[in-house]
Amino acid sequence: MRVLIHNQKGGVGKTTTAANLGAALLRGRLARHVVLADLDPQMHLTAMLTPARSTPDWTVSDWLAGRPGQPVAIEGEKGLLLVPGTDAPVQNVAPQPDTFKKSWTLIDSAPAWSDHTAVLSHWAEIILCPLEPDFLGLSGVSRLLMRFAEIGVPRARLRFLLCRYSARLSVHRDVRAKLVERLGPELVLPVTVRSSVRLSEAPGFGQTIFRHAPASTGCADYTALARLLARPAAQPSLRSA
Instruction: Give, as ranges, the residues between 183 and 212 that touch ligand ATP (CB under 6 A).
Output: 193, 195-196, 199-200, 203
Compute the least distance from the CB of residue 199 to ligand ATP, in Å: 4
Residue type present at position 32: R
Instruction: Give, as ranges, the residues between 99 and 128 that touch ligand ATP (CB under 6 A).
Output: 111
Instruction: Please choose, from the candidates 158, 165, 38, the residue with its C-alpha nearest in 3D space to the C-alpha of residue 105.
Output: 38
Residue 48 · residue 85 · CB < 8 Å? no
Instruction: Please choose, from the candidates 38, 48, 83, the residue with its C-alpha nearest in 3D space to the C-alpha of residue 212.
Output: 48
Q: Does 61 participate in binding ligand ATP (rule CB under 6 A)?
A: no
Residue with Cβ nearer Mg ion (24 or 110): 110
Contacts of residue 107, defined as CB under 8 A and 6 or more positions apart, other chains included, come to 3, 4, 5, 18, 37, 39, 120, 124
Q: Which one of the spans 6-14, 53-61, 84-92, 171-179 is the region binding Mg ion (CB under 5 A)?
A: 6-14
CA angle centred on 204, ends 202 and 207, rounded to 5°: 45
Residue from 33, 44, 157, 164 in contact with Mg ion (CB under 5 A)? 44
Residue with Cβ nearer ligand ATP (13 or 79): 13
Residues that bind ligand ATP (CB under 6 A): 10-16, 40, 42, 44, 111, 163-164, 193, 195-196, 199-200, 203
